[in-house]
Amino acid sequence: MMSSQDLYSIPEIDVETLADALQRGPIPVQLLDVREPQELAIARLTEFQNIPLSQFAEWSGSITEQLDIHQETWVMCHHGMRSAQVCQWLSQNGFTNVKNISGGIDAYSLKIDSSIPRY
């Protein structure tokens, strides 16, 4: 398992940057949500592809075939910890431009779109 110091070395973007990018239209960024399906049923952003962290064993072996390791990739979860772990793993496995969405969907609901339920 990674140390908390490793988690702090991951580049981050804030939800304001995410909202600006989504508002401008299609963005050339891979958007990943690592939350569980039951969490997506409560709150989600439709632009994100879901790869649940609990299913890591199923997707980790083929992720480099599903995604472009050189394309910018932004990762989101509920508060930012699971996504930081996935960012770290992606970076260690060849992805060259990975960013964690700080605060996750919860921060997005609080700061950007209050119609997204909090849980």
Is 77 marked active-site? yes
- Catalytic residue (choose from 15, 18, 32, 77): 77
Q: Which of 108, 115, 86 is nearest to 98 (CA)?
A: 86
| Residues across the chain | 119
Known catalytic residues are: 77
